[in-house]
Chain A
């Protein structure tokens, strides 16, 4: 700051005066009040004499002059910034530089940001916050637009006709809620159990746990709305766990009234061992039919880093039977991991339970992951798919190699 001050003094003495004199606007320049007014003068000035030779460094003077009084402020308050404030400053600068950085960041998020172990982790976290903010903003904008539209139509309606008479009072939503709850309550007495194994917390990052809970909330929703719901069990569920915290965040006060069974016991303690089947994509056994007498277990885990064999290991340890969905048998798989999200699993199981139809059930596998249902023998289809892929990949590899040599030679040239 010292140097900046010096510099300012110098420039006040040397550079502005001749500049002002040259343009004949001394009285406009002193006292300098605001950047805007100054630039206005400059603009006017410029428009008066368009034929004048261009002053290429004029921007520097503008940039320096605008700050005169601000500098004196900052000098006095310039002290050692706390680390948090410093991080906030850096973020602000990144935002100015046009990087994907959120506009507003809470204290808590800032702390999480500082605790990221590496630069790339920090970048990733910021990008995540940025996109979250963007989505939120868009949602809010859309909601506002919707409200406006609704208000408009309401106005028109009120003008045109009076309220219609109807024998049902408009209580559709709460009636449905009651009917659903009735069904789920029935299933809690008579229904087939379905277990979510909540023992993977230590295998996941905080964000993965949050994703897991979100997926479970979605699956609980589908289950509630289905014709014949499962009786959902959360097993190995600890009360002070991250899972619990996230659930409360999602359900708020409804968490206590949820029609599910949550227990800290293991499923092997709740149910007879020979009835349990652990569903895992790593299982060597493939599920043929849906068995209404068995109790299926789903591991509540989102693994973005593809930790293979974690849930299989758990089943092995407890000596449980395992099964995988017959994805290969019915679908011509294209890309992506064979582990599905929890809500997709739930929909598939519900459909199987109601209809026993694999084709209908596997409609819930994301379309991007497969090319279609198998009609011809699988190996034939696979051959053509492989051919397509090698053609595609082969070309790409060639391109990559070219790119590499080009960059490399460029780097050498620079030296």
Chain B
């Protein structure tokens, strides 16, 4: 239905209602289309008046829909009125109405009322992150940075993940302000980005840059740049952090992989205890390897060729420079077949160590174990993104560690004109980082669709002159 352009009289509404196919939901449908068309609120008011006069009451959902319209058009006084009415009518409100009220009021000069509403929400449920977003933005817009940070901390304490908009608001509204305390808080946000491996988008990055450059008397300068594969920043010649894990992180990750990925709820799901033990002794006796290869994955690189030839190429290519190789496979590879020729397999076994798992076991788990056991220098080769194994890890911190380690140690490759091109593992770590007088912040383009395994290639380099 098309909402009318001018407020209507009662009879006119009645007529419209009767011409509507299902009159019992007429008001709801009408309000929905008003919200969609952003009709003037006078029209909505006239409908409300009509409803109030004919029923003596207005249903809650109609009030909420009217509220949507008011928030959409920033009619602050109207929002307050609706709130008063709701407050008299109902003991408590539900989250939808609170969301609207908080959003509507935080954008107006009545923003402090949004804060009291937030308190009210807290009494009955956990506020959503958008509730906090509105309040934080309102507070920082009015330069109440302490209040904003308090809300921000409260939000983190409730395990809510702040939107990038909130974080950006902090930088936008602290521009040009002086104060060691404030500066510390904002650095804290940058460290939060680092800890959670969040990459700001371009506009957010610009806000960060402008804030740094606006700090009075500190003389920060920001430049946009691309980091070389060597990990050196072309602007300040600073070497970025390498992607190695610390000793503690490394051991932690290894233990987690064994516990969550290989054993999980039941060791028999991926392998069997006997097989895993056999594999462990096999690895211990031949340590350390330089490169661990997922044989089956590599053997499918070129679909037209025989699978063992693919693997043979890969092994030959990687066997240079006396690297110690381990190839993981399954037992069916040993049976002479059209895809797996015994002679070629024999020849490969001279160049590399092979471990053949049962046909129903998962070789990826072994791949991870062997690589992690061999030490930090060891890399692994597979085109698999290992998402399912990452998902087995029980907490997000370990999952981040896994991604970081994977970035630094996975060699994925493309076969190109039968030449083997290695896509090198990253040497430097792609996170927000600082040395005190420099900051390096990776960012992504606004419209760039980034996959979780990709890291941005663009950086913001900030240094103090």
Contact = CB atoms under 8 A, between A and B. Distances in A.
Interface of A: 3-4, 7-8, 35-36, 38-40, 42-43, 46-47, 50, 54-60, 62-64, 66-67, 71, 74, 78, 86, 89-90, 93-94, 96-99, 119, 203, 284, 308-310, 312-314, 316-317, 404-405, 408, 412, 415
B42 interface: yes
Contacts of A42: 53
Given A57-B45, A63-B52, A313-B268, A93 B57 contact: no
Contact of B125 (A90, A97, A316): A90
A56 B49 contact: yes
Given A59-B51, A71-B88, 9 more contacts: A4-B88, A39-B53, A58-B52, A60-B85, A63-B89, A93-B60, A312-B268, A316-B272, A408-B447
B88 A67 contact: yes
A98 B64 CA distance: 10
Nearest to A55: B49
A90 B90 CA distance: 11
Interface stretch (B91-99, B219-227, B421-429): B91-99
B124 A7 contact: no
A310 B92 contact: no
Nearest to B266: A313
A231 to B, nearest CB: 29
A235 B13 CA distance: 68
A96 B62 CA distance: 10
Nearest to A74: B91
A310 B91 CA distance: 49
Nearest to B60: A96
Contacts of B414: none
A54 B9 CA distance: 7
Interface in B1-44: 7, 9-11, 28, 42
B87 interface: yes
With most chain A CB atoms within 10 A of its CB, the pick from B9, B46, B125, B268 is B268
B48 interface: yes
Contacts of B266: 310, 313-314, 317
Given A54-B49, A71-B88, A309-B270, A93 B56 contact: no
Contact of B446 (A4, A312, A412): A412
B180 interface: no
11 contacts: A35-B57, A39-B52, A56-B45, A59-B51, A60-B85, A62-B56, A63-B58, A78-B91, A93-B92, A94-B95, A313-B269
Contact of A96 (B7, B10, B59, B126): B59
Interface string B125-165: 11010000000000000000000000000000000000001
B280 interface: no
Interface of B: 7, 9-11, 28, 42, 45-46, 48-49, 51-61, 64, 81, 84-85, 87-97, 124-126, 128, 165, 265-270, 272, 359-360, 446-447, 449
B452 to A, nearest CB: 16
A109 to B, nearest CB: 18
Nearest first, the 4 closest Cβ-Cβ pairs linking A and B are A39-B56, A313-B268, A93-B94, A59-B52
A71 to B, nearest CB: 6
A249 to B, nearest CB: 28
Contacts of A96: 59-61, 90, 94
A63 B57 contact: yes
B268 A7 contact: no
Nearest to B82: A60
A67 to B, nearest CB: 5
Given A39-B54, A50-B11, A309 B88 contact: no
With most chain B CB atoms within 10 A of its CB, the pick from A46, A67, A74 is A46
A53 B270 CA distance: 78
Contact of B88 (A8, A56, A86, A405): A8
A312 B269 contact: yes
Nearest to A202: B265
Contacts of A56: 7, 42, 45-46, 49
B59 A62 contact: no
B56 to A, nearest CB: 3
Contact of A310 (B61, B90, B269): B269
Contacts of B268: 312-314, 316-317
B94 A7 contact: no
B53 A43 contact: yes
Nearest to A5: B88
A99 B57 CA distance: 20
With most chain B CB atoms within 10 A of its CB, the pick from A54, A74, A312 is A54
A59 B61 contact: no
A312 B270 CA distance: 10
Contact of A54 (B7, B95, B446, B447): B7
Contacts of B60: 93, 96-97
